[in-house]
Every structure is written in structure tokens, then in C-alpha cells.
Structure 1
Amino acid sequence: MHTYQLQLHAEYGPVVRFQLPGTETAVPIADPVLLEATAHLDKRPERLFSFLDPLFEAGNLQVLPAGEHAPLRRLLLSRLAGRPSHERHFAEFTALSLRMICAYALSGEAAHPDGAVTAFEEVLTEHLGRLYQVPLPGPEQEQRAERAGQALACLRTMVDRVVAAHRSGGRTDRSDLIGALVEAGEQPARIRDTVMMTMLAAHHTTGVAVSWALHLLGRHPETAERIGEELDRVLGDRAAPGYADLRRLPRLDMALKESMRLFPPGPYGARETTEALVVGDYGIPAGATVFYAIWAVHLNPAYWPEPTAFVPERFAPQEVARRPRLAYIPFGLGPRSCEGAALAMAGAELVLAVLLKRFRFRPVPGHEVTPVERFVLWAAEDIRMELGPRTR
């Protein structure tokens, strides 16, 4: 879908229409100025998001009606986007990042992940396939369905463990998402669903963003070295930044944003019109699916000269001020944009800071990196890099 939308806009312009099972009219938009006319849309197309239904007990949280979604969004933003919450939990985030580095980069004791990534992929692949693929007859289809059922049970067990651990700990910290949900009077099923949604949204998006950033910095060693020098200057001998240090790392911030422009973890989003809508010279009927063609927006040459080039300086404040506000939308836009955007950026910058201060990354010669969409935008054959110590 992500490459198809690029092709459509390259051939037909900023607003196009195409056929898609599950919707009568599908309209992707690739111009940030025209997107302004859609920024108020607060409904997601239920049919397109129905493959997520099995994950939730009390109803698919991705397609909640606006009246139910608004209070939940306010609660999520208060915990995931609030600076007091970030500052309070940043030490835990830092410790996790350092343990990860020890486990995977410094030959420490290997971690034993719970298999959330694999489980989510099993469930989503199976149920998305039911929407758009002809069912396979015989035992192969049954085996896939059985694997998806086992994966879903595994995910539910993980969620139950998270909630049970919170209860057994007797926490009262309102900066904690589960504690805030309990205090808001949410039912147990809705609490479990919210934890599941948070895991779904965050379980590999930050990792993907960090991976693409390292991929690009490995191909631009001079930029990586300037970031390393910035880290040395700000952090001194400290292994990781504090929360307040992130604002003193503009080169790191610009490089991450530029990598997310070129490789947005979510390459598109979707909304549904509840009434007829005029977008520039185009009329869009009620009930149409509007696609936010995020990757096409990020590569629109009218706003991004040499759009495929890696130029972090595009995100210097004076350059940002020259562009329309929706020219860069890696977390979507409007009332259904990602509530965890600020937390995701802080987490990605933390991991990159720890890595780039210690290591030098170079691409493995001859290895081709091809973006492919599998719920997020990642590399078809992985991103393979050579790792060496960085000398100061």
C-alpha cells in the first residue's frame, strides 16, 4: 500500500482515488496544505480496522466513537505526553536502555523476550489476511488459525501479568497509566484493552525508528560523528542523557526527525468522512475513506527539495518555520494522532544517544535494504550493520 500510494500521487497528483476492498471510495492525499481540510476528522473506517477486533474484549479501541474516544485520549495524553510523567519515569527508561545495550551489544547476558513481536505478527497477519485474501482450504488454513489463537492467548496472558503486577504492587502513582485508568473508574476489560492497545502501538515502532536512523547515519558517517561530538560535549563521561539533556542535543533530534521523514514507522493513516468534504478543487463524498499518505507527504518535492536525500538540517527551526505544519506528520494528525508521540521521541533519542556515544555503525557491504510495510515500515531483509567502538 505504501509504495502504491507513492505511485498514484507521482502519476495523478496530490489527491487521487483508488479501489480498495471494504470501502466504496478511497482517497489518499499527499499535499500538506490540502490535508488541513481533513484535520478535524475523528472517525476511523471500521471495516479497515476490523482485523484488530480479536485483540480487544470491550470493543475495538481504534474505532471508538468520538464521544467515547475523547475522554480516553485525554487520559492517555496526560500520561504519555505529559512532561511530569516523562521526567518521573525517565530513569526507568534509561535503565532499560542500558540493559538492552548490555544484552545485545556488549556481550552481556542475553535477554529472553516474551515473544510479543512474534505474537502480534501472528494475530495481525491472520486476521488481516481474512479481510483481503481468499481462505486457503484444508489443514494449512486450520494451522494458521490455530497459531493465531495461541498467539492471541499469549498476548492476553502478557496483558494480565502487567495488570496483575500493578495491582500486587499497590501503586498509587497517578503518573502511571494503569493507575490513572483505575482512578478514572474504567472497567477491567477496558483497562486490559488499553494496555493491549499501548503494547500494539509501541512494541516495535520505536525500534523501527531507531533502526532506520542508524541505517542512515551509517551511510553518512560525518553526520554521525557530529552527533557523537555533541553527545561528548553535553554528557561528558556519562553513558546516557537525562531527560533535560535531550533539549541540548539538537543534532540528534534533527537526525531522528529526518530519518522518520524518509522512513516513517507508520507510512499512512485512514479516516472516514461523516459528511461531504471539499479539499481544494476536489469534492469527497460522505462515507469515503481518506488516506493520510504520510510517506508521500514526506517525499513531496514541493516542500522537500531533493526529497530522498538525508539532510537533517531541514529540521533546523528556521527551516521548519518555512513549511506548512502538516508537511511532517510521522505520528498522524488531528484528534486520532498518536498519543505517545512525545514519549516515543524521547525513548528513541535516548537509545540513539547511548548507542552513538559508544559505537560507530557502518552498513554491511553488498546488503540491500528495502522498505516493506508489515504493520510498520521496516526492512524486508533486515538492516545489517558492522559495529565498532567509537574513539573520542
Structure 2
Amino acid sequence: MKIPGPEPRPDGGVGAIARAGGLHAYQLWLHAEFGPVARFQLPGAGTAVSIADPVLLEATAHLDERPERLFSFLDPLFEAGNLQVLPAEEHTPWRRLLLTVLAGRPSHERHFARFAALATGLADRWAALPSGGPVELQRELTGLSLRMICGYALGGEVEDPDAVVEAFEVVLTDYLERLYLLPPEQTADRRADRTAQALARLRATVDRVIAARRPGRPDDRSDLIGALVEAGEHPARIRDTVLAMMLAAHHTTGVAVSWTLHLLGAHPVETGRVTEELDRVLGDRAAPDHADLRHLPYLGMVLRESLRRYPPGPYGARRTAEPLTVGGYLIPAGAVVFYPFWAVHLNPAYWPEPERFRPERFTPEESAGRPRLAWIPFGLGPRGCEGAGLATVEALLLLAVLLKRFRFRPVPGHPVVPIERFVLRAADDIRMLVSPRAA
């Protein structure tokens, strides 16, 4: 049985995706038009099979290879080979090391006070702004998230986090403009120079972070650089891993918290429930302890619902090693399987009224019986995000600190439009009016 999908076009699918506004939006149209399994032209990977049904995705959850061409936009960032497409025999021990560093609850607890101090420092700075002043959430929160991951896993501080975030944006935007044949804002020569300068800035930052590293305690398993050295990794791979960690960690947490505050700003009833919970659990304290997070279930549901509506990574992809049958369709060996995370999260068969913001979807009662892959903001299978647990802890802490102290309202007339920039972010940031709750 032939897999349904649009007719192939000479441009390799670039035009259709660009007209849709990006691959994040195209996937929604694709599955609304052709059903839960659809083939389409994926720029950089030829033809792909996209699967938006969580039950059908189970047949692909074991896949452990990524299509190299699709992730080639990250090639310029790395010296020793693109870490996103390492073959399984290299990826498995590398992943195991990252999980050892990032997934340990004792390390999360040990660093929690430092995270809280950084979050409280940001809140103090916002409190000094003119009452009701606008804040650019993505810029502020991705910069803070970058400082958090550098302090946690890299043993040091990063200078000028805003400049580092901007440099990542320059490199990724350059790739996407080339991939989708978008008209650049600058001439080819100036764009190339700007991208080269951004790459140089990123590599210099990584070198400074490594040189300034403060080794952790002997029992502190969060020392990523120390773990890489102990594992015998060569210097280029260590630098690449640090850069990959900085890229992934600051995007996911900062963007996720920004979207959550954006959603709450438009939903006062849900905001009221969050603040009531925070007041009850924290009392007069400005920040939670690590143990408090277990007593903030509604805040956790709010975050999960926000990650459903705006997953930081809107899609992923794998390559089949052997033929697979999915939903009655045969997918050949060597094919690209596309994971449309956003379309999965908005599948009305599993999420009634999918566009509606309703944290109660994640109560134990409503979650019972829902397929496990219906909610996959951190990916799935052996290539899923190693830092998912740490990112969740950081996000809950930031939300608790900020919502305990402030009210967030949208800036009138400022459009918030999701775009694809390696993560699902807002085109012109998420600007909100921030004022003390007591005011």
C-alpha cells in the first residue's frame, strides 16, 4: 500500500515548507491533509515518512541512527564530527556518560541552591525595572539557562551569555536561510563573515569555559569535562561536547519557560491556581527548595501542558536499518522516519481541543490510558534528550521564583509567532509586561 502524501516537486519540497512558514507548521498541514502516516519531501534528506500517531510511533522507538544530511547544519559547530549523527557504536557510550552527568538527582539537589541564586538574581533585576516594564523573555531566560548549565556541568561561568546566545542564533539562522532559499538580510559575503565571526566567538567561549573550569568534588558526578577527560576523550571531542551542551541546554529550558509564561499571561484562572499553590507551599520564601518541587503538582502540570503546546524541539528524525511496517505501510531500510513532535502533541485523537491550554490534561486520571508517546517534548528512544530531567528541574525552579513574585501580561500589539530556529521560538521574542504581584 502506497504511503499517502503530496506530489513530489522539482524544488525538493523547499517551496512548500517555506510557504507554510517552516517545517514546524508544514507538519501540521501534512497530517491534517494526509492522515497519521504521510510521505513528503524533506529538504536535506530526500523523501521522508512522517508519523503523527503515538501508537504507531512505538514501532520506530528503537531506531538509533539519525540521517546525516538532515543534521548537517550543525557541522560547522564541531571539530571532531557532528555529535548529533554519531554512529550507534560511538553514540551509546557517549550518551551513557552524559546521562551519568546530567540525570543524577543527587547532583540536581547539590546544585539547586546555585540555580535558585541565579533565578533570584534575575527576579531582583526585574523588580528594579519600572513597574509594568516590558521584558524580552527568550533573551533573558536563555541567557540565564546558559549560566545554569555552565555552572552545573562545566564547572565555571560564561562571559556575556547574551552574546553567546546571539552567536548561536546567527549560525542557525544562516543555515535555515540557505536550506529554505530565503532571501538573506545581508549580502552573501557579509553573511559569511558574520557567521564566521559567530563561530569564532562560540569556540573562544568554549575554550575559556574549559580553561576556567573548577573541578568538582570527588563525589560530584556533574563534572562533565572531568568525566570526558577520565573517559579518554581527545580535546576536540571535549570542546565539541561542551559546545553541544551549551547549545542544547540553554535553548530547551529558556524557551520552555518563556512559552509557559506566555501561555499563563493569557490564562488568568490557571495563573491564579499556580500562584495559590506557590503561596501555600512556599509561604514567605522567595524560592523553593528541591524537595518543594514534589509539592507543586499543578505547576508541574502547567509546564507539561506548555511543553505539549510548544515543544522546544518541534521535530526529530531517524533512519531505518531494516524494513518496518507501520500502520499497514511498508517503510524500506535506509528510509528517513520523521518525528513530527508538534503534530503528535496536537493530535485531536489523543488531545481533545488540542489548541486549548488546559493543564488538567496531566492529572493522573486523565493521563491514565494515554499512549506513552503522545507527549514527547524531549524526543524518544536511544536518541532522546539526556538532559530532560535537569531541564525540568531548572524550568520548575524558574517558574516558581518568577510567578511567586510577578504578574505577567502580554505587551499589547506585540505578535508572538512561532518559528523554527533549531527550537520552536518566537520570531521577535516574547515581550511581556512584568509587575510585582503585590502591586
Look up the equivalent residue of 2:390 and give its one-letter code. L
Equivalent residue for 1:40? 62
Look up the equivalent residue of 2:166 and give its one-letter code. T
Look up the equivalent residue of 2:193 and give its one-letter code. E
How does the TM-score come out when normalised to structure 1? 0.94
Alignment partner for residue 361 of structure 1, among 408, 411, 421?
Answer: 408
Equivalent residue for 2:418? 371
Q: Distance in 1 between matches of 2:223 and 2:128?
A: 31
Look up the equivalent residue of 2:97 and give its one-letter code. L
The alignment status of 1:324 with 2:371, answered yes or no, reads: yes
Q: Distance in 2 between matches of 1:300 and 1:116?
A: 36
* Percentage of identical aligned residues: 71
SS in 2 for 1:306: coil
SS in 2 for 1:166: coil
SS in 1 for 2:408: strand
Look up the equivalent residue of 2:425 and give its one-letter code. W
Q: Distance in 2 between matches of 1:359 and 1:132?
A: 40
Alignment partner for residue 121 of structure 1, among 169, 176, 188?
Answer: 169
Q: Distance in 2 between matches of 1:250 and 1:83?
A: 18
Alignment partner for residue 182 of structure 1, among 229, 235, 244?
Answer: 229
Q: Distance in 2 between matches of 1:51 and 1:63?
A: 11
Q: Distance in 2 between matches of 1:2 and 1:373?
A: 6
Equivalent residue for 1:146? 193
Show CA shifts across 1:210-240 (max 9, x none): 1111111111112111111111111111111
- Structure 1 residue 308: Cα displacement: 0.7
Would the aligned equivalents of 1:22 and 1:47 in 2 still touch at CA under 8 Å?
yes
Look up the equivalent residue of 2:395 and give its one-letter code. A
- Structure 1 residue 170: Cα displacement: 7.7
SS in 2 for 1:270: strand
The alignment status of 1:349 with 2:392, answered yes or no, reads: no
- Structure 1 residue 22: Cα displacement: 2.7
With 309-318 and 373-382 compared, the bigger mean Cα shift is at 373-382
Alignment partner for residue 267 of structure 1, among 314, 317, 320?
Answer: 314
- Structure 1 residue 105: Cα displacement: 4.3
Q: Distance in 2 between matches of 1:31 and 1:107?
A: 46
- Structure 1 residue 187: Cα displacement: 1.4
Equivalent residue for 1:192? 239
- Structure 1 residue 171: Cα displacement: 5.9
Q: Distance in 2 between matches of 1:282 and 1:249?
A: 43
Q: Distance in 2 between matches of 1:357 and 1:129?
A: 40
Equivalent residue for 2:24? 2
- Structure 1 residue 181: Cα displacement: 1.4
SS in 1 for 2:62: coil
Would the aligned equivalents of 2:100 and 2:221 in 1 still touch at CA under 8 Å?
no
Show CA shifts across 1:305-336 (max 9, x none): 11111110101122212200000000010000
Alignment partner for residue 223 of structure 1, among 246, 258, 270?
Answer: 270
Q: Distance in 1 between matches of 2:354 and 2:179?
A: 34
The alignment status of 1:27 with 2:43, answered yes or no, reads: no
The alignment status of 1:14 with 2:64, answered yes or no, reads: no
- Structure 1 residue 285: Cα displacement: 1.3
Matched residue count: 388
Would the aligned equivalents of 2:216 and 2:223 in 1 still touch at CA under 8 Å?
no
Look up the equivalent residue of 1:126 and give its one-letter code. D
Q: Distance in 1 between matches of 2:369 and 2:127?
A: 40
How does the TM-score come out when normalised to structure 2? 0.84
Would the aligned equivalents of 2:316 and 2:339 in 1 still touch at CA under 8 Å?
yes
Look up the equivalent residue of 2:116 and give its one-letter code. T
Structure 1 residues 363 and 131 mapped into 2: Cα distance closer, same or farther (>3 Å)? Answer: closer
Q: Distance in 2 between matches of 1:212 and 1:380?
A: 12
SS in 1 for 2:70: coil
Structure 1 residues 247 and 186 mapped into 2: Cα distance closer, same or farther (>3 Å)? Answer: same
Look up the equivalent residue of 1:41 and give its one-letter code. L
Alignment partner for residue 101 of structure 1, among 105, 123, 146?
Answer: 123
Q: Distance in 2 between matches of 1:377 and 1:70?
A: 27
- Which residues of 2 match residues 245-260 of structure 1 at below 5 A? 245-260=292-307
Would the aligned equivalents of 1:116 and 1:203 in 2 still touch at CA under 8 Å?
no
SS in 2 for 1:59: coil
Equivalent residue for 1:297? 344
Look up the equivalent residue of 2:336 and give its one-letter code. T
Would the aligned equivalents of 1:23 and 1:288 in 2 still touch at CA under 8 Å?
no
Look up the equivalent residue of 1:57 and give its one-letter code. E
SS in 1 for 2:213: helix
Look up the equivalent residue of 1:276 and give its one-letter code. P
Would the aligned equivalents of 2:40 and 2:48 in 1 still touch at CA under 8 Å?
yes
With 158-167 and 97-106 compared, the bigger mean Cα shift is at 97-106
Q: Distance in 2 between matches of 1:89 and 1:153?
A: 30
Equivalent residue for 1:205? 252
SS in 1 for 2:393: helix
Unaligned 5+ runs, structure 2: 1-22, 131-139, 144-159
Q: Distance in 1 between matches of 2:196 and 2:305?
A: 39
- Structure 1 residue 368: Cα displacement: 2.8
The alignment status of 1:380 with 2:427, answered yes or no, reads: yes
SS in 1 for 2:69: coil
RMSD (Å) for aligned C-alpha atoms: 2.1
Structure 1 residues 309 and 84 mapped into 2: Cα distance closer, same or farther (>3 Å)? Answer: same
Would the aligned equivalents of 2:346 and 2:355 in 1 still touch at CA under 8 Å?
yes
Q: Distance in 1 between matches of 2:182 and 2:306?
A: 37
Would the aligned equivalents of 2:171 and 2:195 in 1 still touch at CA under 8 Å?
yes
Structure 1 residues 194 and 237 mapped into 2: Cα distance closer, same or farther (>3 Å)? Answer: same
Look up the equivalent residue of 1:2 and give its one-letter code. H
Q: Distance in 1 between matches of 2:100 and 2:371?
A: 27
Look up the equivalent residue of 1:253 and give its one-letter code. G
Equivalent residue for 2:79? 57
Structure 1 residues 320 and 47 mapped into 2: Cα distance closer, same or farther (>3 Å)? Answer: same
Alignment partner for residue 80 of structure 1, among 102, 109, 116?
Answer: 102
